[in-house]
Structure 1
């Protein structure tokens, strides 16, 4: 040992030499919780909403908790006697056999009153261990990353992993047992039964559309397409506002909030500014024409209506991002942030063709659109929210006699049709009939045109061209162009029809 090293005091040497740190854990809390469950199975229900076997530090405790959960869910009683047959009899914990260890856990259990506190402590420590793993990976990748790997990719990956950890308490993905999948399906059915309108998804606020689709289903990619002038943005805006305006929340077992009805909406408006979008919504809600609002051609009574409406709208959880030409990676990062900070139940993108891909060298537009739609579908699954993505249709529609859109009209990529769970087309025959008006009022065809125009005036068709979970068909809606508002038809003679 040289002179300089000898002069270091013991604490200084300890600080100078890196030493092994044990991952955060609390084995006593795990023992206390398991003991409480073995004594009274009700303790399991106090923590089962948020605590999973993976959150336990000690592998044996993971196994005991998993066995107890499976036993209780099957309607049986989990005790030291029923569990010990499923655990290795020759295993040891210190001086104790596993059956003796189970008996000790039960004997030392005090009460189930603190079960939730123990569960929360175990969960929080598991999150800290996961954070350490993510942090270590970030450091190692940053040191060892190949030269051709841009740092932005690592940032996006770290953000995704942190988001998954914040949302679910785990980031490993991987396989899920069929039991868990069945439990989720039953939960969804139960929530649909309790929700207004008995819908499994989020209500659009347009009943005739909801009855065909069951609302907007979580993790679905819903493509809403149409030619310019058909009202795609109007319909998307109407649905977004209806969902945000009917938002009601309830507190979950882990203290987080969840939408009971309606939801928090994120709206990416790549084409219109947030002010234009707000003007449309105000016009729709107050029934004051948006062109009059823009020109200032309104009465005092109208202005009072606008002010009252704006005060009510300030409480609505609708968030607008008006960045033009946003990339799929930026959109995903901002959506994750919104969900973490404010919550998120529905995402709207207006519209797909205005987004940009990663612009890899030599990549064409079709590949770019494919990357965007695939990214949107993956984002919907990651965030567990429906995504409504608007899309332009090709000009092929205009050259046909029958102007009704078809799936083949989706522009630039077959991936739009392929990745979408639902494809909706907005079609207003009124728009085309109006353009065919004879110039001469005394033309013999004028009366025929007038009759046809009156028949289609103020109506719109929403064509469900593809739906993974339900029927295709057409829904007739009312459309008031001066207020850019879609709504259910009051006339019961207009019926929906299926293909």
Structure 2
């Protein structure tokens, strides 16, 4: 017989380990509950029957909780019949076990601490189970998941444990809620202009919305070529620049950053767009290298100015909701996070391990998840969305809420829904053709009328704010410069 190796010895030690549990705390808490039901108030908001390591203790706790929740007294006398009828105490010696629990009781003041000790042991057991599943899956127990997907699944499970552990919920006292509301109002009052949230860089949009507010999910939707990505990039850049300027004024580091999840365009393409707008050089000319020395020098200067921006781009295609959530939490922890932009939500995947029955349900899970990210991290989340083709079949092609793909879930979960619309794009396609007119005069009249209409809509766009949970709706006129894919404020009145 050969000596055991170090690995065998370690495995034996792991097998002999018992999962974390605090049976003394469980008995002491149950004794306190049976003696004084007021102890339940100290643990009811975070402790459940399944958190007990001893299954019988969990059943006893559940029975006590049910009686107290119904407004009934729960003590050894009132519960004896229930215990005898159900037989739940037979594994521990019957109703005589209640005497042991009463002998182990603690004062009501310590009930909360004992409850938290029980709950902490449960969290540790869950972590052990998650670790074992990760190891088993890595060895091939779940062959349908690739390695990267197993990471996402593990992250999702850990996230659920972190958020569902039952310690972060409960009521917020009204005085505390009032204090928070007062802080927000004071912040808005002290700031110049009408912006209480993070600026979008668009004056009229900020006036109508007050800026971008924490915990809000905003949807920007439109048909292809309307400029959704350009508008979202403009907002993201403006927010990042505002954060950098704020830090420079106070001689500190930026208090947050902007995260862009670009599922369609690469980070290089997105950076080129921003550079094109700021350097006022066509992105097409940049790609071709069709620029002079002065323009190239301006391009380099702008690049140096922008490289300090607290702006981060994730170009992972078809990213899952769980992976996005993990990366946002990591960025929030390391750099701070002030805004998240997703381009666009129909290219995302729901959390790993979920298998929605339909595309509508899948989009619903994604929008609910984005709203959850906004709430958890207290940041605004802007998600771009495609519109259905039914827009093209109408004479008036201005979008409506019903044009949203899988519109029910998106409209329901969003705090604001806005549409990007450019009449110039559609009018350009309706340029009169000489062959469709009988004579030159009719053709020229139609062409003149078309030019007149084009002049009216040239470089103009509309941001149609169709839904806003916290404010008014309406149409916001914008300036759009196609050469630089740039949105800006539209000034209809000028000083002479």
- When normalised by structure 2's length, the TM-score is 0.67
In structure 2, the partner of 1:460 is: 461
How much does 1:366 deviate?
A: 1.0
Alpha-carbon shift at residue 492 of structure 1 (Å): 2.3
For residues 195 and 130 of structure 1, what CA distance do their matches in structure 2 show?
Answer: 44
Residue 129 (structure 1) shift: 12
* Equivalent residue in structure 2 for 1:302, among 273, 279, 295: 295
Of 318-327 and 178-187, deviating more is 178-187
Deviation at 1:159, TM superposition (A): 4.2
Q: CA deviation at 1:138?
A: 1.6
Please state how far the C-alpha of 1:139 moved relative to its aligned partner.
2.6
Aligned residue runs from structure 1 range 226-305, under 5 A: 226-248=222-244, 259=255, 263-305=256-298
Q: Distance in 2 between matches of 1:130 and 1:341?
A: 29
Contact 2:215 2:379 in 1 (8 A): yes
Partner in structure 2 of residue 476 of structure 1: 477
Please give the secondary structure, in 2, of the residue aligned with 1:228: coil
Pick one of 210, 213, 228 that aligns with 1:217: 213
> Which among 344, 351, 369 is matched to residue 344 of structure 2?
351
Distance 1:361 1:134 in 2: 27
Match for 1:429 among 415, 423, 427? Answer: 423
Q: TM-score, normalised by structure 1?
A: 0.66
Task: Give the C-alpha shift of residue 182 in structure 1.
Answer: 1.2
Cα drift, residue 312 of structure 1 = 0.8
- Indicate the residue corresponding to 2:487 in structure 1: 486
Structure 2 residue runs of 5 or longer lacking an equivalent are 1-15, 23-42, 44-108, 110-116, 143-149, 435-439
Q: Deviations over 1:208-247 (max 9, x none)?
A: 1100011011100000000000000000000100110121
Change (3 A) 1:340 1:297: same
* 1:139 alignment counterpart: 128
Q: Would you say the 8 A contact 1:240–1:265 is kept in 2?
A: yes
Distance in 1 (CA, whole Å) between partners of 2:164 and 2:291 is 49
The question of 1:392 aligning with 2:380 is answered: no
Contact 1:327 1:357 (C-alpha < 8 Å) held by counterparts: yes
What is aligned with 1:179? Answer: 175
Q: Which digits, 9 at most, give the CA deviation of each residue in 1:168-194, with x for residues without a partner? A: xx9523322222211111111111222
3-state DSSP of counterpart to 2:393: coil
Instruction: Kindly state the Cα deviation for residue 153 of structure 1 after the two structures are TM-superposed.
Output: 5.0
Q: Which residue of 2 aligns with 1:201?
A: 197
Which one is further off, 409-418 or 133-142?
A: 133-142
SS in 2 for 1:309: helix
Q: Residue 316 of structure 2 corresponds to which residue in structure 1?
A: 323
- The Cα of 1:364 is off from its aligned counterpart by 1.5
SS of aligned partner of 1:301? helix
Tell me the distance in 2 between the aligned counterparts of 1:264 and 1:386: 12
Deviations 1:251-275 (A, max 9, x none): 9xxxx9774xxx5100000000000
Q: Which has the higher helix share?
A: 2
Report the 3-state secondary structure (helix = DSSP H, G, I; strand = E; otherwise coil) of the residue aligned with 1:223: strand
Partner of 2:366: 372
User: Contact 2:221/2:419 (CA < 8 Å) preserved in 1?
Assistant: yes
Q: Could you give the per-residue CA deviations for residues 96-126 of structure 1, whole angstroms, max 9, x where no partner exists?
A: xx9xxxxxxxxxxxxxxxxxxxxxxxxxxxx
8 Å Cα contact 1:404/1:427 also seen in 2 = yes
Instruction: Judge conservation of contact 2:261–2:341 (CA < 8 Å) in 1.
Output: yes
Q: Which runs of 5+ in 1 are unaligned?
A: 1-15, 23-53, 55-97, 99-127, 494-499
1:164–1:365 CA distance, 2 compared to 1 (3 A):
closer
The answer to whether 1:439 aligns with 2:440 is: no
Change (3 A) 1:466 1:17: closer
- Per the alignment, in what secondary structure is the counterpart of residue 323 of structure 1? coil
In the alignment, the residues of structure 2 paired with residue 324 and residue 471 of structure 1 have an alpha-carbon distance, to the nearest angstrom, of: 35
> What per-residue deviation string (whole Å, max 9, x for no partner) do you get for residues 25-55 of structure 1?
xxxxxxxxxxxxxxxxxxxxxxxxxxxxx9x
- Tell me the matched-pair count: 365
CA contact (8 A) 1:193 1:199 kept: no
Aligned mates of 1:381, 1:283 — CA distance in 2: 34
In structure 1, how many angstroms separate the alpha carbons of the residues matched to 2:122 and 2:354?
Answer: 31
Bigger shift: residues 151-160 or 384-393: 151-160
Alignment deviations for residues 304-332 of structure 1 (CA, whole Å, 9 cap, x no partner): 01100111111000100000001111111
Cα separation, partners in 2 of 1:204 and 1:180, compared to 1, 3 Å: same
Q: How big is each residue's C-alpha offset from its partner over 1:54-87, in whole Å with a ceiling of 9 and x where there is no partner?
A: 9xxxxxxxxxxxxxxxxxxxxxxxxxxxxxxxxx
